[in-house]
Amino acid sequence: MALAPLSPPPSVLVVTAHPDDVDFGLAGSVAQWTKAGTHVAYCVVTDGNAGGFDPSIPRSEIPAIRRREQRAAAERVGVDAVEFLGYVDGEVSVTPSLRRDIAAMIRRYRPHTVVTQSPVRNFARIGASHPDHLAVGEATLCAVYPDARNPFAFEELAQAGLLAHTVQQVALVAYPEPTHYVDVSATLDAKLEAICAHESQLPDPDATRESVRGWLSTAAQQAGLGEGRYAELFFVFATA
């Protein structure tokens, strides 16, 4: 089945497990959307405290470093709203607390579209199927339906002024069978800048840039774009 282009949504909330997930997954699309006037907000479930490659950096310093890097990366693609939920990296599971916290973000930002990680393991891209990614994807789908839209779910949210909100569509990153693409050829450099803002995670930034170009070039071929083009892929479905 041919992939369809994904138009810029009116507003987007991106929910991911770790700092840098959004940048590897869809920063090129985010840069396109913010240029088109889409309001984009990020919700990062963990502080990425299990990340990094330099043993000389005290582990206690990693969360602050990674928050700072994610905010810098967001600025490079036009995003100024970045929220961190503070869950433990590597220990995320689908709990009522996580569902409530993501539902709270949905009710706060009231997005047309939620983008999150696939809850379905992709055996062709095992690195994209980190257990935290799978858990965040599933918890986010639970938050989209029914939690965020049900005024009687997590009633403490309504009491805090966070009223029910219905998301119109969801786009999943790294789903095994994508349906849509965004041509990010014009925003590839912005995506690479966002990725490279995560200095604590990149022992060889040049190699990372080349790998990302290769991934996006392959995705562009899958989308039916010509040579020298780059794309990001999504599985998109209506939720309203």
Predicted TM-score of the model (pTM)? 0.97
- pLDDT (tens digit, 9 = 90+) per residue, 132-162? 999 999 999 999 999 999 999 999 999 999 9
- pLDDT (tens digit, 9 = 90+) per residue, 99-125? 999 999 999 999 999 999 999 998 988
Q: Where are the domains of the chain?
A: 4-238
Compute how many other C-beta atoms are within 10 angstroms of the C-beta atom of residue 123: 8
Architecture in CATH of 4-238: 3-Layer(aba) Sandwich (3.40)
Angle (nearest 5°) at CA 13 between 25 and 82: 85
154 neighbors 100 (Cβ within 8 angstroms): yes
Residue 126, pLDDT score: 87
> Which residues lie below 8 Å from residue 35, measured CB to CB, with a gap of 6+?
78, 187
- pLDDT (tens digit, 9 = 90+) per residue, 181-198? 999 999 999 999 999 999
Residue 139, pLDDT score: 98
